[in-house]
A and B are shown apart, each in its own frame.
Chain A
Amino acid sequence: MKILITVLMIIFFPFLISGMIRRVKSVWGGRKGPSLIQPFFDFSRLMKKSEVISRTVSPVFLIAPSASLAATICAAMLVPMAGKSAILSFNGDFIMFCYLLALGKFMLVVSAMDTGSSFEGMGSSREVTFSALAEPGFFIIMGSFAWISGCKSFESIFQAIYNSGPASGLLILLAIIGLFIMLLTEGGRLPVDDPETHLELTMIHEVMVLDNSGPDLGFILYGAALKVFLIASLIASLATPTGIGFVPGLIIFTAVVTAEAVFIGFLESVMARMRMTHIPQFVFMITALAIIIFFIVMMELGKAL
């Protein structure tokens, strides 16, 4: 039952998050906005379409979108969701998670390079640069949490961190902020990337998929939305208290993910996008927060020893 609910969430929540962000922005801009499940309709419309494939591409371009989505779905199985339980859990799964996402990204990057378009090359270079800056932060956070809790998987770390010591509240708060910046970076949201823009020269994520169409484009869009949902889920799981049972956990989880979507929509309404050269500083904040977490953990462990 738990697994079934988790699977349903993995299928539908990404569309809902996109829908909610769009709706918040529409309402802020004085418009009514599309339906919350419009992204799902878009996805099913794309599934029915045929594909236009450039004559210059190699088979890499053809398999990349499916491979990328497959990697992201595998990563989804490792993420603790409602009640802090994941479909799969094993020691070191957070490392697996990070590199599954990286594999998905790698597939998209090589397929973008495969088209030979200068735009897509530019987008790939930006994408890889910014996510490489986000990665160390994630590992320092997870590593510090693993150290203080003595556990080695997402599920167990997230359960143990809640009662890990006097500073656990502070640790969770810092980690949530760090993960939220990672969400904005990896999800391609403002102020890192502007998902609404039509200007190829400023794009990061969108410009990489200019040549994709039909079901492949649908996979990419769903994969990107799923990635946002996965990082949002990490935040929601961290925010959920340990040992409150599945149903209350599910309610809190849903509420937190919804709040995140609304907050992203709000941020995108009131913020301007950063200059490309300032983005690395912003992304590097994740690492800065992670290092603070690391020091707090060190101090706490030093006290216990």
Chain B
Amino acid sequence: MSWAVTSNNQTIDLAVIPVKTPAELRTEIIEQSQRGARPVAFFGQKLSSGVRLFVIMANDPRSELMASSAIFAESERSYQAISNEIPAFQLFEREFFEETGIKPEGHPWLKPVRFSHSRADQSARMADYPFFRVEGESVHEVAVGPVHAGVIEPGHFRFMCSGEKVHHLEIQLGYQHRGIEPMMADGNIWKKHKLVESITGDSAIANSLAYSSLLESAAGIEVSARATAIRTLALELERVALHMSSLGGLCADVGDLTGNTFFGATRTYVINALLDICGSRFGCGLIRPGGVNFNVDAELSAKLLKTLEMVRNRVFIIGERTFNMPGVLSRFQHTGIVDAKTAEKINMVGITARASGLKRDIRADHPFGFYRLYPAYKLTLDSGDVFARAYMRYLEAKRSLGYLIDLLSGLPPGTELITDRGSLKPDSMTVSMVEGPRGELVHVMLSGANGEVVRYKLKDPSFNNWFALALAVRGEGVSDFPICNKSFDLSYCGYDL
């Protein structure tokens, strides 16, 4: 097998990664995919002449990551698309095309991804987005956004409907043009924590954890057990908070005032717990490369325990009420179904994939941090509808609260919270994956000859899952779109890097 094998939070030399021709790499990718591996990163790095394409695929049952690469010479401007055989690559290939201009020939859906500043074709304009068109007498288009009625991020949704029924939904994102990846590779990588925390505001902890773990492994820094436990504590708090907000939003969207109010109020207790730990309700400033900035002392720990016991009670009461309410169930059940086969095909990740029956959870498959000592178990549901996604959030929130309460009752002792920085290993590649509230976050860093960062690649779970939303609403009533959307609760900024 000619792939470089690595694992989560491991640094490998660039020299170990095989270099293939594009055609060879394509064959190997298809082979690996047929054996059950799935892509987690697929990106180009511009060389002095030509482009080097890196592919990282995950073998979940063996907790392995496999890396390979191919070099495109300056004159090679196209290759045969992989997406026709393995649809999981469709968005990765589009992203690669947008960034490098190397065309995947025969790609079935070659559309712009996010109109980044660094896009290869600078003449591409958002106004020229090639929308799919449905023709017919009773077909009408409903366009929503990019400016929405609620306080949410920009995104354009175009429904091709006949009457109330949606035939197809096209989602156009890319209104934010933030250019985070180039910014990450520019300047002192150790000072990028503020930037990392703003990649996705509601996953600040997950992102800063991935970033910190990545730098620690590239610089060979050991983090103390106590700091690791506090990081995991924060990550699970973030997860519970986001699940509460999604559930509240789902209740609001079906007009269930009680659920909306109580889930919303419960979320406040959770984010206030983060405020008690680090002074920020979103956990900004808590996790830094080398450890954590704030301790959880005995007094705070007791206070958090009390809060979380109360939160667990509240979640149980309001969750049982909501998921036993016929009115709510009739809206949630059999709405917006994504079956396991489709989910696997389009490479869904995270909680929404688990609601469709895919057993994918980085905490269990590629354990990191405290999950290596005290494992988290995967939960899955089969129906893949709005109900499954909502119920999954409820189950996970309860599971996370249990994990948090156990963790708080036995925080590892020690006083060392943060260790000194080191220098990055030169000519190496590091992959760090974290199971954030929405699913797997992937950070990949390539370092140069002097240990400087030459490429920093990010992948948010929303990158995988937006397409699933478009598939979920097919054949549904257009009025059910909001609950489908909320059940995925995807991030716009995670996509618009």
Contact = CB atoms under 8 A, between A and B. Distances in A.
Interface of A: 25, 28-30, 118-119, 121-122, 190-191, 194, 196-202, 268-278
A152 to B, nearest CB: 40
24 contacts: A118-B140, A118-B142, A119-B142, A122-B142, A122-B478, A191-B327, A194-B255, A196-B255, A198-B149, A199-B482, A200-B144, A269-B257, A271-B327, A272-B256, A273-B254, A273-B255, A274-B331, A275-B335, A275-B479, A276-B164, A276-B477, A276-B479, A277-B164, A278-B330
Nearest to B166: A201
A118 B143 contact: yes
Contact of A272 (B142, B327, B477): B327
Contact of A198 (B142, B150, B325): B150
Contacts of A122: 142, 164, 478
Contacts of B149: 198-200
B253 A202 contact: yes
A272 B479 contact: no
Contact of B480 (A118, A190, A197, A276): A276
A277 B335 CA distance: 12
B80 interface: no
A120 to B, nearest CB: 11
B477 A270 contact: no
B141 interface: yes
Contacts of B142: 118-119, 122, 201
Contacts of B258: 28-29, 269-270
B477 A277 contact: yes
A191 B257 CA distance: 12
B2 interface: no
Contacts of B331: 272-275
Contacts of A198: 149-150
B394 to A, nearest CB: 16
Contacts of B482: 199, 201-202
A275 B480 contact: yes
Q: Which 5 A-B pairs have the closest CB atoms?
A: A272-B327, A273-B255, A194-B255, A29-B261, A199-B482
A274 B330 CA distance: 8
B481 interface: yes
A253 to B, nearest CB: 29
A121 B143 CA distance: 13
Interface in B142-158: 142-144, 149-150
B265 interface: yes
Contacts of A270: 257-258
B364 interface: no
B192 to A, nearest CB: 36
Interface of B: 140-144, 149-150, 164, 251-258, 260-261, 265, 325, 327-328, 330-331, 335, 477-482
Nearest to B140: A118
Given A191-B255, A197-B253, A272-B330, 10 more contacts: A29-B257, A29-B260, A118-B141, A122-B478, A201-B142, A268-B255, A272-B255, A273-B256, A273-B327, A275-B477
Nearest to A118: B142
A153 B430 CA distance: 83
A50 to B, nearest CB: 22
Given A118-B141, A196-B255, A274 B327 contact: yes
Contacts of A121: 140
Given A30-B265, A272-B325, A197 B255 contact: yes
Name the residue in B141, B328, B331 with the highest tally of chain A Cβ atoms < 10 Å from its Cβ. B331
Contacts of A194: 255
A269 B150 CA distance: 21
B376 to A, nearest CB: 32
A268 B253 contact: no
A202 B287 CA distance: 41
Nearest to A271: B327
Contacts of A273: 254-256, 327, 331
Nearest to B257: A269
B327 A268 contact: no
A34 to B, nearest CB: 15
Contacts of A202: 253, 479, 482
A202 B477 CA distance: 10
A299 B382 CA distance: 54
A270 B482 CA distance: 20
A181 to B, nearest CB: 16
Contacts of A28: 257-258
A258 B395 CA distance: 41
Nearest to B322: A272
Contacts of A278: 330
B330 A275 contact: yes
A22 to B, nearest CB: 11
A75 to B, nearest CB: 28
A122 B165 CA distance: 11
A25 B258 CA distance: 9
Contacts of B477: 275-277
A275 B326 CA distance: 12
For B255, B258, B481, which residue has the most chain A Cβ atoms within 10 angstroms? Answer: B255
Contacts of A200: 144, 149
A266 B480 CA distance: 25
Most buried by B among A121, A197, A269: A197
Nearest to B141: A118
Which of B141, B150, B256 has the most chain A CB atoms inside 10 A of its CB? B256
Contacts of B335: 275
B55 to A, nearest CB: 39
Among A201, A269, A273, find the residue whose CB has the most chain B CB atoms closer than 10 A. A201
Given A29-B257, A272-B256, A276-B164, A201 B327 contact: no
B75 to A, nearest CB: 47
A107 B35 CA distance: 63
Contacts of B260: 29
B133 to A, nearest CB: 15
A11 B258 CA distance: 32
Given A200-B144, A202-B479, A273-B255, A30 B150 contact: no
A275 B325 CA distance: 14
A227 B143 CA distance: 31
Contacts of B327: 191, 271-274
A278 B330 CA distance: 10
Nearest to A269: B257
Contacts of A276: 164, 477, 479-480
A270 B479 CA distance: 21
Given A198-B149, A275-B330, A268 B257 contact: yes
A144 to B, nearest CB: 31
Contacts of A199: 149-150, 253, 482
Contacts of A30: 261, 265
A25 B252 CA distance: 13
A270 B480 CA distance: 20
Contacts of B254: 272-273
A198 B252 CA distance: 10
Contacts of A272: 251, 254-256, 325, 327-328, 330-331
B218 to A, nearest CB: 45
Contacts of B143: 118
